[in-house]
Chain A
Amino acid sequence: MRLFRAFAGLAIVCLAQMLLGQHLPAVARRCDLFSVYVVFIALTRPQRPAMLIGSGAGLAQDALTGAVLGINGFKKTLLAYLVGTLGSLFMLNHTVPRFGILFASALFDPLAELGLSLAMGQHYVFPAPGDLLMLGVGNGLLGLAAFWVAARLP
């Protein structure tokens, strides 16, 4: 049931990301709802379901954005694992560590994609630092908002 709810949440994230991309592309460039969702799940769920949802979220993102199928699945799976591992090692229940994790996830995403692209012999244009900063801040704020809303849901 919890897994079903998690996948239902993933569907909502997909819909939201699509709507943002269509109607508010400037906002969509400054936040990655999939990463935020994966970090949220990894911090609130056990590691294994978090990895499954992370992989599903990444594949859904690949399908929606037209990226190479599997590349976001790989990144999000790894992200879920790393965040889950960090969550089991450190106390990440507070706002600042959560913001840090969300910010770091925004940096992790292009770094992982760069590595994968190099491994596959593909070209990859690394985002400008300013864009990365904006994305990290956006992810952090959005993630904190998600945690705040989730804490108030029944």
Chain B
Amino acid sequence: MPRVLAQRKPHLLLFLLLSLNLVLMAASVRGVRGASLLDEAILSIAAPFLKAAAWSSDAVAGLWGGWVDLRRVENDNRRLRAEAGTLMLQAREAEEARQEVRRLRELLALREETGRRAIAARVIARGSAGPARILLLGSGTREGIARDQAVVTPRGVVGRVIEAAAGTSKVQTILDPNSGVAALLQRTRVQGILVGDGDGACNLEFVSELASVDVGDVVVTSGLDEIHPKGAVLGVVTEVGGTRDLTRRVRVRPEVDFQRLEEVLVLAGTQQANREGTP
């Protein structure tokens, strides 16, 4: 083998020298595109590898870009969810404020209707015994609230103040069995006393068995108790029962939803006091 190589050495040297000169020529001669033939040859050989490298680079860049975009989208998603939560909370608060404004406007309109000095008060608690027989208001004597003042809403009569402290006051609703409101049927002007039945409804008592009472008749205050203004809505007759002791049993559903009561209007001064000119 070494002998063969030794014999071929001149040819090997020839090949090397010719190759060297060819490379020099290729490097010197300009091709049709202005590049040297060596550059063109190298480019031709390297082109597939360069393309593969470029493709790989593009693929990696695409993957990386996709990953970065994904992370950005994820962050955006998280941020937008937080913003959506905040906006939903704000929307709820706005809705709450809107409803409160509506209620207060209704109270204000009622206050102007009554012609009496009225104090808006917020319900801060409900009595635990039974379905809201007793309410606690967030206003008291400091705001001008006193005992035996009527408490109303635009829907109807709530009850009367039974205790008043500096910052709070207690209201006995018309649902309380111990309450009694002078009432009359709006259609027939038949009078009676509305008393709570302790179960979320009221009974109109002392109604003559001869009186004309129908289901759906509206019951309003008569004003004879000197506490509630005359003509304020109390409820609607839902049931007309049998007679006992010459009176008819009439069941009334109050117009006011006591479970959802939030703001009320306290009519400062009884009718009697108003007539006397004292609050």
Contact = CB atoms under 8 A, between A and B. Distances in A.
B235 to A, nearest CB: 111
A129 B95 CA distance: 108
A51 B9 CA distance: 12
Interface size class of A (residues with CB under 8 A): 20 to 34
B14 A51 contact: yes
A81 B29 contact: no
A120 interface: yes
Interface string B31-70: 1100001000000000000000000000000000000000
B224 interface: no
Interface in B19-35: 20-29, 31-32
A77 B21 contact: yes
A130 interface: no
A131 B18 CA distance: 28
A52 B25 CA distance: 17
B25 A77 contact: no
B142 to A, nearest CB: 109
Main secondary structure of the interface of A (DSSP, over half): helix
Interface-centre pick from A70, A73, A81, A122 (highest chain B CB count, 10 A): A70
B277 interface: no
B13 interface: yes
B17 to A, nearest CB: 5
Interface size class of B (residues with CB under 8 A): 10 to 19
A70 B14 contact: no
A47 interface: yes
A51 B25 contact: no
Nearest to B9: A48
Nearest to A85: B10
A69 B27 CA distance: 8
Nearest to A58: B21
A154 interface: no
A51 B24 contact: no
Given A120-B29, A120-B37, A121-B31, A70 B21 contact: yes
A33 to B, nearest CB: 19
A74 B14 contact: no
B18 A122 contact: no
Contacts of A91: none
A60 B31 CA distance: 24
Given A77-B17, A81-B14, A120 B25 contact: yes
B21 A55 contact: yes
A116 interface: yes
A142 interface: no
A92 B191 CA distance: 158
A77 B28 contact: no
A141 interface: no
A68 interface: yes
Contact of A73 (B21, B26, B29, B32): B21
B22 to A, nearest CB: 6
27 contacts: A48-B9, A48-B10, A48-B13, A51-B14, A51-B17, A52-B13, A52-B17, A55-B17, A55-B21, A68-B29, A69-B24, A69-B27, A70-B24, A70-B25, A70-B26, A70-B27, A70-B28, A71-B21, A74-B18, A74-B25, A77-B14, A78-B18, A81-B14, A84-B10, A120-B29, A121-B31, A122-B29
Given A68-B25, A68-B29, A120-B26, 5 more contacts: A48-B9, A51-B10, A68-B28, A70-B26, A71-B21
Q: Which 6 A-B pairs have the closest CB atoms?
A: A70-B24, A70-B25, A74-B21, A73-B21, A70-B21, A77-B17
